[in-house]
Amino acid sequence: MRDVAIVAFAQSPHRRRTDELSEVDLLMPVLHQVLETTGLKANEIGFTCSGSADYLAGRAFSFTMALDGVGAHPPISESHVEMDGAWALYEAWVKIMTGEADTALVYAYGKSSPGQVRDVLTRQLDPYYLAPLWPDSLALAALQAQALLDAGHADRAALTAIATRSRTDAAANPYAQLTGDVPAGGLLVHPLRTGDCPPIGDGAAAVILAAGDTARALCARPAWIRGIDHRIEAHALGVRDLTDSPSTRLAARHAGAFERPVDTAELHAPFTSQEVILRTALDLGDDVRVNPSGGALAANPIMAAGLIRLGEAAARIHRGASVRALAHATSGPCLQQNLVAVLEGESAHG
Amino acid sequence: MTEILSAPLVVEFPFTRSLGPVQSAFLTGLRERTVLGVRTDDGRVLVPPVEYDPVTANELRSLLRVAPTGTVTTWAWNPAPRRDQPLGTPFAWVLVRLDGADTALLHALDAPGPDAVHTGMRVRIRWAATRTGAITDIACFEPYDGEPGTTEPVPHGGEFTDSVTGITVPARLDYVHTPGRAQSAYLKALEDHRTVGERCPACRKVYVPPRGACPTCGIATAEQVEVGPRGTVTTFCIVNIKAKNLDIDVPYVYAHIALDGADLALHGRIAGIPYDQVRMGLRVEPVWAEGARHPDHYRPTGEPDAGYDTYKELV
């Protein structure tokens, strides 16, 4: 097996709207930044993979326009997932593990501002029984939060504490959209208050992956991907126990998350209630630093927020703030799909 | 700084889908005020039913009728209904486990306010007056304090006269599209019947229409360059099939045209010359219709044809 690491990470400032920027305008600075960090030229990248969603822009094949930003001519080896960039990273990891490439550029972006993201996300639901009812993303998260409260797994104070911690931590994150004290706010969809929900915004992120000695040459302290896995649960919401996340737990087991404790966890929990579920599924103790970046409650660019969790966890390893970190990404309603990666610095490799 | 343009963008489509045997039976059943579930390998009854067991992935075909009454398993109060949601007045989203079922169905609950809703409350289906074989045949749920319905599901063959075999789900999403700086400048220039591209600071190529980045160098382009109005046909095709809603007689010529000064050809229709006389190297110029936002077509300028070497990189 090859050792594969995240060697560079960059993200844009996340903002409520970026009318003056096209997708490629939004993306180019982060692409340039990761290339500059590693010293790689665009034509030296072995594989390029991206994550985005046409429904956010309302245009078919919108990712092809963003490709201008990576220098796609002369021809490059390229792929795209209509999902969060965390899944693009998984594809790139597979490409490197199979020896097809030694380096990979992974990027993701989401401009939510052109449309109504609550409505847009209804189009990813089952088209027979759910989509015709237009249950929006907050409504579905609220059903999950209420189930959690009814089960006694959390109370209002616990949810508020998560919101407060996230946004307080985000004050140290220059890219975050919401920082500092954010009042709990009014009820958006009961029981979710404004403070329990993520901001809607535009943003982009990019990472570079590299194998073995290439990674060591590109980065003083690579964030080695010790394990990565993703799992999905039953499609129908009413079949699942919404208070639990067995797919996260299974992905974590396959990623080796339970073999040794982690010191940091970047969890893709756009709603406060989802952090409670993920902490339990991942068996994270109070000694684990959760979402020091502020997490998705501080900045949630759709399709990039999961990749940012991997990038933030890696960046902590790069700067020596973490030895072993867990990164989690989710996609779909109520934590339907979950990806878990375990990242380690060199010293932890033994 | 160019003014950033924006315009409404509506994406609207009828999503037409065929139904398998199980979904067909379920949705036809709703039309007939009958709720069907399906029994899984481990004996649970799934409502709404699916065709494959979510645990074993085995095919499921054993349909059963469950009651139109049930219990709320979780809920969320929606104070501001959005377009196309089941009720126009504030309502609760609910997951309801119908009597006889082991799983829950998502729908709306008509209740006066959040204080009137709780997990465990009893509800029943309110049927839509007009039913077509769709999940919306359930108008919503309503509070119900009567006797529990049948808790034992009753086997059902899933057969109805005139079964629904497909559904068409209309969808509409509204956007405000902003094309960004480069395309805004391009569109603004077109208002004056001018065409502007942007030059890459590294490879010096001029792209038109500009998209703000050089696809070869992967860097931002910013230097505006006016190109055209004349250009050269680099390649073309003859269209013989009339497109729906297109008011142009066939055959006509559709061409790639390299405007003078541009390093990328753009598309356009060629007219003012018989279709079988259009050729590579033909020199053309745009023809604008009254009030149009783009050239209607391009016509020959009468100049001598351009030499192949002058445009071979752009073919």
| Chain B interface, best mutation among A143, A149, A244, by max B CB count within 10 A | A143
CA distance A332 to A248: 13
Q: Measure CB to CB from residue B173 to each of A115, A145, A242 and give the nearest one.
A: A115
Query: Residue A31 has what pLDDT?
Result: 97
- All residues of chain B having their beta carbon less than 8 Å from the beta carbon of residue A20 are 4, 178, 180-181
Give the pairing of strands A264-266 and A289-290: parallel
Q: What is the pLDDT of residues A30-60, one digit of tens each?
A: 999 999 999 999 889 999 999 999 999 898 8
Residues A273-292, mean pLDDT to the nearest whole number: 97
A and B: number of Cβ contacts within 8 A: 186
In chain B, positions 97-156, which contact chain A (CB-CB < 8 Å)? 97, 103-108, 114, 119, 134-136
Phi-psi region of A161 (alpha: psi -120 to 50; beta: other; left: phi over 0): alpha
What are the chain A neighbours of B103 within 8 Å (beta carbons)?
A: 236, 238-239
**Interval A245-270 mean pLDDT:** 98
CA distance B33 to B186: 57
Cβ <8 Å between A58 and B217 = no
With cut-offs at 50, 70 and 90, classify the pLDDT of residue A349.
Answer: very low
Residues of B in contact with A150 (CB under 8 A): 74, 119
Query: Which stretches of chain B drop beneath a pLDDT of 70?
Result: 1-2, 149-150
Question: What is the reported pTM?
Answer: 0.94
pLDDT exceeds cutoff 60 at A285: yes
Q: What's the sign of the alpha-carbon dihedral B254, B255, B261, B262?
A: positive
The residues in B 10-49 lying below 8 A from A, measured between CB atoms, are: 11, 15, 17, 19, 23, 27, 46-48
Q: Using a CB-CB distance cutoff of 8 angstroms, which residues of chain B are in contact with residue A69?
A: 213, 218
Whether residue B95 and residue A237 make contact (CB cut-off 8 A), yes or no, is yes
Contact between A15 and A177 (Cβ < 8 Å) = yes
Residue A182 pLDDT > 80:
no
Residue type, A248: T
- Is A68–B79 a contact, with Cβ atoms under 8 angstroms apart? no
**What is the pLDDT, as a whole number, of residue A346?**
83
d(CA B230, CA B260): 6
The partner residue sitting opposite B135, judged by closest CB among A74, A114, A128, is A128
- The CA distance from A162 to the nearest CA of chain B, in Å, is 20
Nearest-CA distance B129 → chain A (Å): 17
Choose among A330, A347, A345: nearest CA to A282. Answer: A330
CB of A104 closer than 8 Å to CB of A8: no
Name the residue among B75, B106, B181 with its Cβ closest to that of A133: B106
Q: Tell whether A123 lies on the interface with B, counting CB pairs under 8 A.
A: yes
| High-pLDDT (> 90) share of chain A, % | 89
Report the pLDDT value the prediction gives residue A179, as an integer from 0 to 100.
84
- Which chain B residues are closer than 8 Å to A134 by Cβ? 82-85
Residues of A in contact with B48 (CB under 8 A): 128-129, 236, 238
Q: How far is A5 from chain B, CA to nearest CA, in Å?
A: 24
Residues of chain B by 3-state class (helix, strand, coil), percent to 5: 10, 40, 50
Determine, for residues B73 and A238 on separate chains, whether the beta-carbon distance falls below 8 Å: yes
Is the Cβ of B202 closer than 8 Å to some Cβ of chain A?
no
Token code pair at residue A53: 């969603």
Q: Which residues of chain A does B263 touch, with a Cβ-Cβ cutoff of 8 Å?
A: none
User: Cα distance from B7 to chain A (closest Cα, Å)?
Assistant: 10
The stretch A267-276 carries a mean pLDDT of 98
Measured between beta carbons, the chain B residues lying within 8 angstroms of A139 are 76, 78, 93
SS (H, E, C) B41-107: CCCCEECCCCCECCCCCCECCCEEEECCEEEEEEEEEECCCCCCCCCCCCEEEEEEEECCCCCCEEE
For A96-145, write each residue's pLDDT tens digit.
999 999 999 999 999 999 999 999 999 999 999 999 999 999 999 999 99
- With CA atoms as reference, the chain A residue closest to B6 would be A19
Task: Considering only the beta carbons, identify the residue of B103, B176, B217 that sits closest to A236.
Answer: B103
ipTM of the prediction? 0.94
Helix A305-318 / helix A85-97 crossing angle, nearest 10 deg:
60
Looking at the predicted structure, is the pLDDT value of residue A350 above 70? no
Residue A200 has φ and ψ, to the nearest 5°, of -100, 130
Q: Is the peptide bond before B286 cis (omega within 30 degrees of 0)?
A: no
Distance CA A86, CA A118 (A): 21
Interface touch B213/A68, C-beta < 8 Å? yes
Q: Cα distance from B207 to chain A (closest Cα, Å)?
A: 12
* Chain A residues near residue B218 by CB distance under 8 angstroms: 28, 31, 42, 68-72
Contacts (Cβ under 8 Å, ≥6 apart) of A347: A323
CB atoms within 10 A of CB B170: 11
Average pLDDT over residues A168-191: 90
CB distance A68–B97 less than 8 Å?
A: no
